[in-house]
Amino acid sequence: MDGLLLDWYGRTARDLPWRHTRDPYAILVSEVMLQQTQVDRVVPRWIAWLERWPTPADLAAASPADVIRAWQGLGYNRRGLSLHRAAQQIAADGWPADLTDLPGVGPYTAAAVRNFALGEDVLPIDVNVERIQERSGHRFGSACGQALMDLGATVCLARVPRCELCPLAQGCPSRGQRYEPARKQSRFEGSFRQRRSAALRLVAEQPRALAELDAEAVAALEKDALVRVCDGIVSLPE
């Protein structure tokens, strides 16, 4: 199956900018940005981020406030701060042998950097890759990493896979099956996440009096080190 998949990928691969680099920092930025964020939203933000902070040392020298402002719109702002702390660690001590020692880097992200940047023989397994392997009953080699990402994103979809377009369909035991969603995505509209986002957006514009803001949302943001509260004024961390 690996050969069929790689042949398909050679014809249909998405032209994503982080696929044109082997820089581990650039790959790390892309992987952190892509967590729960759509690819088309990430592309321009990734380009702008690397233009502003092209190396870990550049990002490490930035203030947390600048990082938070630059991350606005990508969601889950703690990821931006974790990336900032990871850059500080890399700038100070170099890349660790175990990439999961970096703040915010779990097994999948570590494997993605090791494969896509360092060329190591390890397959990054996210929900898309896991789904394809379960449905096909096949364990793919590390060379199939990017191809599996594309197949899971465009063909082997979670609920209604497009089997008629799949290069693996002929030998796939799950061909033609339909699936219930694994879990419902919680609504953003009206959620506490939206309240946090709204409060952070206001503070990112300028410091605000706590009395003007959603106090519960501010408390949660302060707990995550995304804002600081001093003498009744809420501001970004500097």
* Number of neighbours of residue 27 by Cβ within 10 angstroms: 21
Residues 6+ positions from 21 with CB-CB distance below 8 Å: 27, 117
Strands 208-209 and 228-230: unpaired
Contacts of residues 180-188 at CB distance under 8 Å and 24 or more positions apart, as own/partner, are 182/158
Dmax over CA atoms of the chain, in Å, equals 67
How far apart are alpha carbons 208 and 211 in whole angstroms? 8
Structure tokens at 86: 């990871």
How far apart are alpha carbons 147 and 135 in whole angstroms? 16
Structure tokens at 82: 């974790």
Reply yes or no on whether 31 is catalytic. Answer: yes
What is the signed CA dihedral for 168, 169, 173, 177, rounded to 10 degrees?
130
Residue with tokens 């990336």: 83
φ, ψ of residue 33 in degrees (nearest 5): -65, -35
**From 31, 180, 205, 238, the catalytic residue:** 31
Residue with tokens 């042949």: 7
Q: Which residues are part of the catalytic machinery?
A: 31
